[in-house]
Every structure is written in structure tokens, then in C-alpha cells.
């Protein structure tokens, strides 16, 4: 619990990092939603289904790459603490990642129109 609270304070003290992640997530979700607008409701051929599956794959891949690239500067600063807590199994950024993934999923899911 202490490590989770410490990580929460660390993320809270770095609002630019958190804001950039969330802003980029919303922008990326809107781009994918616009790009694949209403693709999920048009599934009459097998190619349409493959296109929908490809859009889900691309949306997931881009969010993962974005998270990996945005966390590198933060991990470089807190590397020692991160390795120690990760090895002990105490590190978790779950609350921030869950909220980010929920925003992204809701926007993309609604705009693409998956059933």
C-alpha cells in the first residue's frame, strides 16, 4: 500500500506527464474512431470482419506503443526505485492505466460502432 501511495504521489507531482498521456490517448482514440467510423456495423462480408479485427489490433497496438514511448523519460528518472519495487512485486500503475484504457476503449468502441 505504501508503494502504491508513493507511486500515486509521484504521478500526481508530475502532472505534465499524466496530462500528455491522457491528451494523446483521447486524440489517438478520436483519430482511430474517425478513421474506422461505423466499421463495426457493416459486417456483411468476411473482408468487413477482417477490417474490423484489424482496426482493433491497430488501435491496441498504437496505444501500447504510445504508453511505452511516453513512460521512458519517467522511468529513466526513477529507474532505481522502479527496479527495486518491480522486483519486489509492489509496483503498479494500474489506476492510471485503467482510466486511460477506459477512456480510449469507450471512445474507439463507440465511434467504430462495434456490436
Tens digit of each residue's pLDDT (9 = 90 or more) over 38-80: 877 777 888 888 888 888 888 888 888 887 787 777 767 777 7
Hunting for cell 486511460 — which residue is that? 100
pLDDT confidence of residue 92: 62
Q: How far apart are CA 35 and CA 63, in angstroms?
A: 15
pLDDT confidence of residue 90: 63
Q: How far apart are CA 29 and CA 52, in angstroms?
A: 15
Q: Does pLDDT of 103 surpass 80? A: yes
How do residues 5-31 score in pLDDT, each as one tens digit? Answer: 777 777 777 788 788 888 888 898 898
Amino acid at each position: 500500500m505504501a508503494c502504491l501511495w508513493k507511486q500515486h504521489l509521484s504521478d500526481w507531482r508530475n502532472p505534465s506527464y499524466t496530462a500528455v498521456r491522457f491528451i494523446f490517448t483521447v486524440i489517438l482514440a478520436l483519430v482511430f474512431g474517425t478513421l474506422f467510423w461505423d466499421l463495426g456495423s457493416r459486417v456483411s462480408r468476411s473482408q468487413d470482419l477482417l477490417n474490423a479485427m484489424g482496426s482493433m489490433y491497430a488501435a491496441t497496438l498504437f496505444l501500447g506503443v504510445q504508453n511505452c514511448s511516453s513512460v521512458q523519460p519517467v522511468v529513466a528518472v526513477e529507474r532505481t526505485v522502479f527496479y527495486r519495487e518491480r522486483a519486489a512485486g509492489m509496483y503498479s500503475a494500474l489506476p492510471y492505466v485503467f482510466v486511460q484504457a477506459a477512456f480510449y476503449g469507450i471512445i474507439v468502441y463507440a465511434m467504430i460502432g462495434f456490436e
